[in-house]
Amino acid sequence: MEININFEEFVNQICSKVKDILGADYIVYPHEVVKQNDVVLQAIMISERNRTTKTMPVIYLEQYYEKYKETKDLDECAESIIDFYKGLVKKDIDEMVKDLFEWDIICDNIVPVVVSKDKNKMLSKKLVTDTYLDLIIYYIIKFDEVKEALSIGVVKVTKDMCKGWGITEEEFRDKAMANMKNDGYAIRTMKSVIQGIMLENNFGIDSRDLVFENMLDSLDDSKAGMYVLSNRCNHYGAAGILYKEVLEQFAETCNSDFYILPSSLHELILLPVEEELQCEELNEMVRQINEEQVAMEDVLENHVYYYERLRKSCRCM
């Protein structure tokens, strides 16, 4: 049984513990990872000394620290980290990511991501980036669902990667934007989104339940005119603000200008303009939701955007 320690001490001790267990044949060290909105997470990096490639899994330590605070057992946490690492190695990480170097293989999996310019001062200058309004656009290679489940995640595209593929950055950007059409972007009513979340998370609700139907029907009127824009997997779906055709079609369908509320990096809320809607009230709503309901690394912006139907353009409010 270990004594209680703070997170910084935990990082140092867990790295030492893992290194002691694995022995001299392994390299083990802590590593800071800068996520969206300049959120810094602490990871442990593990690799066999005789490996010929530099590919290493990033194992974040925050979740293991939470486990440690419950068990006070550093040895158990270290063993869990090692088991997770060995599980990834068995899948042969090098084999899984070798396709990253083949443009013809991965070109259909590249998509844009939007983040706040003000909140991402530490974003690597090595990345391929663009700007739109007050947002930064960078690009990722999305793995398939199997690799996502293995916590391999996504890969941010760098300028050197473009050079390695033998393509220009302009060709790369054109392909990434074209790929949005295959990323399953759709606009749904707020009611259908809430219904899907409740059923998917198995809250003990049957879609045929009369009480459930009545609950959906009685959704607050303020949500009745709200629509949600995201992609198929609801992952980095706020990039839909770049999808001109979808926004134009929505404006024509509503025959109205509309507000875009950045509810997170993963989705946008579209709200057709009505006379009683006040921009500052909507901005306050966005700020409050960001502070109370959205993880810091998932916040997009603290203000709404305004789409003009006739101009077919978007601006900050």
- Domain boundaries, given as residue ranges, for the chain: 7-90, 100-181, 186-230+243-316
SS3 289: helix
User: Looking at the chain, which runs of residues are DSSP E strands?
Assistant: 26-34, 40-48, 58-60, 110-116, 129-132, 135-142, 154-156, 186-189, 227-230, 258-264, 267-272, 305-308, 313-316
Q: Is the pLDDT of residue 286 over 50?
A: yes
211 or 225: which carries more pLDDT confidence?
Answer: 225
Kindly state the tokens that stand for 72.
């006070």
Query: What is the residue whose two structure tokens read 């844009």?
Result: 112
Angle in degrees, 0-180, between the axes of helices 62-71 and 7-22, rounded to the nearest 10? 90
90 or 176: which carries more pLDDT confidence?
Answer: 176
pLDDT at 96: 63
Question: Per-residue pLDDT tens for 110-129?
Answer: 999 999 999 998 888 889 99
Q: Would you call 70 exposed, middle or buried from its count of C-beta atoms within 10 A (0-12, 13-18, 19+)?
A: exposed
Give the chain's mean pLDDT. 83
For residue 259, give the H/E element and its range: strand 258-264
For residue 158, give the H/E element and its range: none
Partner residues linked to 258 by β-bridges: 272, 307
SS3 290: helix
Across the beta sheet with 40-48, the strand order is 26-34, 40-48, 58-60
Whether 138 contacts 127, CB under 8 Å: yes
Q: Is the pLDDT of residue 213 over 60?
A: no
Question: Per-residue pLDDT tens for 32-54?
Answer: 988 889 989 999 999 888 876 66
Cα separation, 100 vs 96, in Å, equals: 9
Q: How many CA atoms lie within 13 A of 170 on its CB side?
A: 0
Whether 109 contacts 99, CB under 8 Å: no
Query: What is the residue whose two structure tokens read 């009513």?
Result: 189
Kindly state the tokens that stand for 294.
């959205």
Band of residue 211 on the pLDDT scale cut at 50, 70, 90? very low
Q: Is the pLDDT of residue 220 over 70?
A: no
pLDDT at 35: 87
First to last CA, the chain: 55
Query: What is the residue whose two structure tokens read 């950055």?
Result: 169
Q: What is the pTM of this model?
A: 0.80
Tell me how far CA of residue 18 lies from CA of 47, 62, 63, 64, 87, in angstroms: 12, 16, 16, 13, 15
Q: What average pLDDT does this structure show over 186-198?
A: 68
